[in-house]
């Protein structure tokens, strides 16, 4: 008996069942499809680190962990969650010479759109994006971060895209009070197998469209889809920039490079390419 399902522990295996590797492989690995291998490991440090270390790996390798002991987020942050309480997965993508490398920066944004659309459908929650790639849900009317994307270059020609989603975390298990989970957002389903399938199918579709369009964010529709699902646009925000500076303005648009265009009080338009955004006023 593991500590998780020992008597007295509030979560048993029945509440947080393991993923079904065989069923996931059957559903997702098909000839001609993007996903070429799928592994579920009981625990690892970080699925992103494992795949970055393992390159060259073929495009379409999927690694899912039931638990991460050294999960990583953007800007050198940690990503923590109890075993089997969420989705912790990474994939290898190799956009190839058909997509100019300057456009690869769209991959984390594309993964955010794919995860948000897949999860909204499969979990029955309204999920939105906070620029650049936080996945938000509403818990008691308040926006809460429930997932995120970490994309990292692996060698010259590969990108490892990691997706983390809080699925069954209770309020007292959240890493920070401003976080959320699908169960706290009253998801109709928190069964992780269909949620993983929905995320990976949606990612396969969006990535296929984007790659066919040579990575063009307009022609592939990804720029429009991102803007449609983005809770940041139209809001007054504070952008906390790398290096400690901050700037406040209205989030006006997403430009062709995936940058957030802010309208500042003095009329200047400034495009932000990295940083943390704080939504200063509630959204609609």
Beta strands (DSSP E) in the chain are 37-41, 61-65, 86-93, 128-130, 134-139, 142-154, 158-166, 236-240, 246-254, 260-263, 269-272, 276-279
Nearest-angstrom CA–CA distance, 247 and 277: 10
DSSP state of 17: P
In the region spanning residues 176 to 205, those forming contacts with ligand BTN, defined by CB under 6 A, are none
Is 77 a binding residue for ligand BTN by CB under 6 A? The answer is yes
Q: Which of 16, 48, 111, 249 binds ligand BTN (CB under 6 A)?
A: 48
Per-residue x/- marks for ligand BTN, 140-169, CB under 6 A? --------xxx-----------xxx-----
Question: Contact, 148 vs 80, CB < 8 A?
Answer: no
Question: Contact, 89 vs 196, CB < 8 A?
Answer: yes
| Secondary structure class of 255 (helix, strand, coil) | coil
Structure tokens at 215: 């990575």
CB nearer to ligand BTN: pick between 151 and 220: 151
Q: Which of 72, 130, 138, 211 binds ligand BTN (CB under 6 A)?
A: 72
Is 46 a binding residue for ligand BTN by CB under 6 A? The answer is yes
Query: Of 2-10, 54-62, 83-91, 234-242, which segment contacts ligand BTN by CB under 6 A?
Result: 83-91
Q: Residue with the closest Cβ to ligand BTN?
A: 148
Q: Which of 79, 131, 210, 226 binds ligand BTN (CB under 6 A)?
A: 79
Binding site for ligand BTN (CB under 6 A): 46-48, 68, 71-74, 77, 79, 88-90, 134, 148-150, 162-164
């Amino acid at each position: 008996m593991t500590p998780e399902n020992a008597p007295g522990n509030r979560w048993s295996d029945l509440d947080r069942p393991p993923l079904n590797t065989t069923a996931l492989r059957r559903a997702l690995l098909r000839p001609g499809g993007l996903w070429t291998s799928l592994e579920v490991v009981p625990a690892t440090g970080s699925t992103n680190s494992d795949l970055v270390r393992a390159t060259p790996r073929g495009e379409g390798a999927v690694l899912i962990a039931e638990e991460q002991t050294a999960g990583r987020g953007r800007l050198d942050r940690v990503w923590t969650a109890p075993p089997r309480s969420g989705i912790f997965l990474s994939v290898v993508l190799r956009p190839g010479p058909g997509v100019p490398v300057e456009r690869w920066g769209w991959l984390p944004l594309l993964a955010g759109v794919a995860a948000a659309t897949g999860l909204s459908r499969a979990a029955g929650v309204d999920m939105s994006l906070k620029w650049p790639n936080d996945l938000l849900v509403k818990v008691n009317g308040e926006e809460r971060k429930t997932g995120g994307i970490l994309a990292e270059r692996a060698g010259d020609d590969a990108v490892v895209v990691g997706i983390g989603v809080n699925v069954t975390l209770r309020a007292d298990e959240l890493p920070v009070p401003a976080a959320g989970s699908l169960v706290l957002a009253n998801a109709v389903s928190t069964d992780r197998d269909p949620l993983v399938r929905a995320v990976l199918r949606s990612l396969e579709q969006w990535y296929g469209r984007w790659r066919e369009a040579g990575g063009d964010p307009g022609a592939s529709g990804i720029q429009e889809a991102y803007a449609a699902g983005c809770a940041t646009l139209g809001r007054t925000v504070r952008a906390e920039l790398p290096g400690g500076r901050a700037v406040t303005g209205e989030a006006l648009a997403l430009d062709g490079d995936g940058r957030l265009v802010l309208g500042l009080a003095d009329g200047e338009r400034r495009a932000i390419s990295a940083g943390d955004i704080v939504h200063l006023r509630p959204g609609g």
